[in-house]
Structure 1
Amino acid sequence: MVIRQKTIWENFLSPVVRFFIDEEKLQRYADSIDWKKESDRLWRNDVIIPDYYSSRNFHGIEGGYLNFGAAVSYDPITQYVLPPNETVVRQALIDAVKVKPRRILDLGCGTGSTTLMLKQAFPQAEVIGLDLSPYMLVRAADKARTANLDIIWRHGNAEKTSYQDTCFDLVTASLLFHETPTVVSQTILRESFRLLVAGGQVLILDGNQNTLRSLDWLNNVFEEPYIRDYAAGNLDANMGAAGFEAVQTQDVWWINQVTSGIKPIPVTNTATQKQVRQYTPTSIDNNDLEDLGSPVFGIKA
Structure 2
Amino acid sequence: MNSQFQHSMMPQTTHDELARQNFMQSLSVHINRQMASNNKKIYENVAKPNFEQKHQHPPQNRHDILQAMQDQSYYRWWSILKRFQQEMMWESVGSSVERQLPELIIKAKNIQNQIGSLTLDPNFKIPAYMTEVDIHCMPGGYHTEIIENDLAVGAIYDRGVFVYGRGWLGTLNDDMGHSVIQNYLKPNYPNFKPQKILDMGCAVGHSTLPYIDAYLDAEIHGIDIGAPMLQYAHARAEALNKRVNFSQQNAENTNFPDGTFDLIVSHILLHEIPTFAIKNVMRECYRLLSPGGIMIHLDAPLYRHMDAYTAFISEWQTLNNNEPFWSEMRDLDLTAIVTEAGFSSEKTTEAFVLKHSCKTPNRSQPEKTPAVSVRPTWFAIAAQK
Deviations, residues 79-127 of structure 1 (Å, cap 9, x unaligned) = 3348843433331112222331000111111001111111121121100
Please tell me whether the aligned partners of residues 180 and 353 of structure 2 are also in contact (alpha carbons under 8 angstroms): no
Q: 1:228 to 1:248 in 2, by over 3 A?
A: closer
Q: Which residue of the partner structure matches residue 73 of structure 1?
A: 156
Q: 1:121 to 1:143 in 2, by over 3 A?
A: same
Deviations, residues 182-215 of structure 1 (Å, cap 9, x unaligned) = 1101100100010001110001011111356842
State the SS of the aligned residue for 1:110.
coil
CA distance in 1, matches of 2:279, 2:166: 24
State the SS of the aligned residue for 1:104.
strand
After TM superposition, list the pairs within 5 Å mapping 1:203-214 onto structure 2. 203-210=296-303, 214=308
Q: Find 1:12's aligned residue among 85, 104, 118.
A: 85
Please tell me whether the aligned partners of residues 55 and 63 of structure 1 are also in contact (alpha carbons under 8 angstroms): no
CA distance in 2, matches of 1:193, 1:87: 26
Q: 1:132 to 1:18 in 2, by over 3 A?
A: closer
Q: CA deviation at 1:167?
A: 1.0
Letter in 1 for 2:253: K
Letter in 1 for 2:157: Y
State the SS of the aligned residue for 2:160.
helix
Q: Which residue of the partner structure matches residue 203 of structure 2?
A: 110
Q: Which residue of the partner structure matches residue 350 of structure 2?
A: 248
CA distance in 1, matches of 2:354, 2:167: 10
Letter in 1 for 2:216: P
Letter in 2 for 1:262: Q
Structure 2 unaligned runs (5+)? Answer: 1-78, 110-117, 145-150, 356-371
After TM superposition, list the pairs within 5 Å mapping 1:114-263 onto structure 2. 114-210=207-303, 214=308, 215-221=311-317, 222-244=321-343, 245-253=347-355, 254=372, 256-263=378-385
State the SS of the aligned residue for 2:124.
coil
Larger mean Cα displacement after TM superposition, 231-240 or 132-141 = 231-240
Please tell me whether the aligned partners of residues 234 and 246 of structure 2 are also in contact (alpha carbons under 8 angstroms): yes
Larger mean Cα displacement after TM superposition, 202-211 or 217-226 = 217-226
Q: 1:167 to 1:89 in 2, by over 3 A?
A: closer
State the SS of the aligned residue for 1:115.
coil
Q: Which residue of the partner structure matches residue 53 of structure 1?
A: 130
State the SS of the aligned residue for 2:139.
coil
Q: Which residue of the partner structure matches residue 283 of structure 1?
A: none
Q: 1:118 to 1:141 in 2, by over 3 A?
A: same
Q: Which residue of the partner structure matches residue 43 of structure 1?
A: 120
| Alignment RMSD (CA, Å) | 2.8
Rg (Cα) greater in structure: 2
Deviations, residues 12-66 of structure 1 (Å, cap 9, x unaligned) = 33446777x6964x3455232338x96xx84314533211112221121133211
Q: CA deviation at 1:141?
A: 0.6
CA distance in 1, matches of 2:313, 2:277: 24
Please tell me whether the aligned partners of residues 206 and 257 of structure 1 are also in contact (alpha carbons under 8 angstroms): yes
CA distance in 2, matches of 1:15, 1:198: 47
Q: 1:104 to 1:234 in 2, by over 3 A?
A: same
After TM superposition, list the pairs within 5 Å mapping 1:255-294 onto structure 2. 256-263=378-385
Please tell me whether the aligned partners of residues 252 and 258 of structure 1 are also in contact (alpha carbons under 8 angstroms): no
Please tell me whether the aligned partners of residues 213 and 231 of structure 1 are also in contact (alpha carbons under 8 angstroms): no
Letter in 2 for 1:88: D
Q: Find 1:62's aligned residue among 128, 139, 145.
A: 139
Q: 1:227 to 1:119 in 2, by over 3 A?
A: same
Letter in 2 for 1:32: E
CA distance in 2, matches of 1:106, 1:258: 15
Please tell me whether the aligned partners of residues 9 and 223 of structure 1 are also in contact (alpha carbons under 8 angstroms): no
CA distance in 2, matches of 1:182, 1:212: 21
